[in-house]
Structure 1
Amino acid sequence: MAASVLADDGIAAAGGPLLGDAEFQFLRDFVYRHCGIALSEQKRQLVQGRLLRRLRALRLGDFAGYCELLRRDPDAELGELASAISTNVTAFFREAHHYELLENELLPQWLEHKRRSGDRLRIWSAGCATGEEPYAMAMVLAEALERAGKTVDAKILATDLSPQALGVARKGVYALDRLGGVSEERRRRWFLRGEGEYEGYARVHPRLRELVTVLPLNLLHDWPMQGPFDAIFCRNVVIYFDQPTKQRLFRRYAQMLPPGGYLFLGHSESMHGLSDDFELVGRTTYRKRA
């Protein structure tokens, strides 16, 4: 993934308004209801420090005013709130065994089947963060399409809740030191090195941008897409959800996958005891039962 994870960065709230008991309880309920994340009392200082930036940006004098804004129009501020209290952790080709399975086994099989049937191929990066995950998928997919020499309607959907993360994903511009997981051959093939004011940066190749559609989506709200997807990547996202939220999400993923479709989780995540719809077929790799 692509992950949105809570991490205490030690930001102090010195000189700013304090987050009172009532406001913190409201925020805890709001974040759980809309984001599926349970904020413990230990996260109070983190929430206070992170949200002070939003108070300043919105020119609000206290947290009561911010809570009132959320009550009036939850959707308008939800993405900013999620961005403020989370840290997007991702990298190109993170958990490489998933990409190796795609490249060596799944994509060749799928492309041959799609060519014969005329069906489309769809992969979903659910929680794409700043886009490294879906663009890594796009490299593997583009290369597989070339090797197969077949014309198949193939696309990758990349979704996230954070407006800031989605902005980076849409631009597809990354500092060169972010390309550590990309081989030298793929760097030459799939990135355009920046010059002038963009020195030290690289943009993903237009071919990759053609394959990836970046959209905002809250995993806990309604999903506008119908599916089906051949594979869903939801890595390092559900680790911060409680058990009932995970179970609901896995049921919804199962509805979006055909029998034999794949669901990829993060290295610290497991579906054990949470779903009967999937079977474990590899490291954090699950296949929907027939």
Structure 2
Amino acid sequence: MIRSVVLGTGSALPERRVSNADLEQQLDTSDAWIVERTGIRFRHIAGPHETTATLAADACRAALNSAGVAAADIDLIVLATATPDQTFPATATKVQAMLGIDDCVAFDVAAVCSGFLYAVQVADSMLRTGVHRRALVIGAETFSRILDWEDRTTAVLFGDGAGAIVLEGQESDAATGRGILATKLHADGRHNDLLYVDGGPSTTGTVGKLRMKGREVFRHAVVNLAAVLEETLVIAGLTSADVDWVVPHQANARILDATSRKLGLSPDKIVVTVDRHANTSAASVPLALDVAVRDGRVRQGEIVVLEAMGGGFTWGAAVVRF
């Protein structure tokens, strides 16, 4: 059977790192308040010369280098973002041009914080048909551009960044082979008003600002993330005891703790980067995965679960034999 195998990972962060102490200078907040409620200590904020596309391209270069693959060998780019450089064309095509790829399929996926999981399933489906061979799957965001910097309840939560993986369709043993073993996605549009941006081209003609009802989002996140993780493991024919690492969406340390307890997973198996990156939306899962690969935690042959939930609501998970 053909499976989509992760050949390499990469990530990129803006040059400017902003601490909680820095935010104390402009918001009615404190380091202690932010850390206690979210676990966040730092975030990176894009400068004038940095965009979703430039961060994505840097992450792709790192992933290609990690994989030992030339940009010219990529025939599919799927980029997850809620903060594109332009309404159109797709930011993926800008990344394609930055990487010097003359021709390949390139498009964006919009599912907010779950976007990378959606992009993974789309790319995996296209690779398994055999029509495409190698893909760059990217999550990239500049959420700082849609934040209300006078709203302390949301401004402290988010950061900018990008993460990418190189996937290759390979013949794989059904029982022991590497690659994506299972994916599962969900959406429930009834919860639009709990996490959204109050603008758009066809409504206000503006970009708008992020709005969130944090308490309600927290409650849904813990339930949905635990459920989809278990659901995806069942599809893969595995149990939580088989999992080596969980790489979750980095929204809030308390959500990560509550999810691990609900599943009976050791906190030591949860990759956590929210303290240094904050919530980077679609970028958070590939960013955290790249950190764990590069520091030696995630190794070839291990079972890794990726999971996320975002506005919409959308949520999903993927089980990978790395």
Q: Per the shorter chain, which TM-score range?
A: under 0.3
Higher relative contact order (CA 8 A, sep 6+): 2
TM-score normalised per structure 1: 0.28
Which has the larger helix fraction? 1
TM-score normalised per structure 2: 0.26
Larger Rg: 1
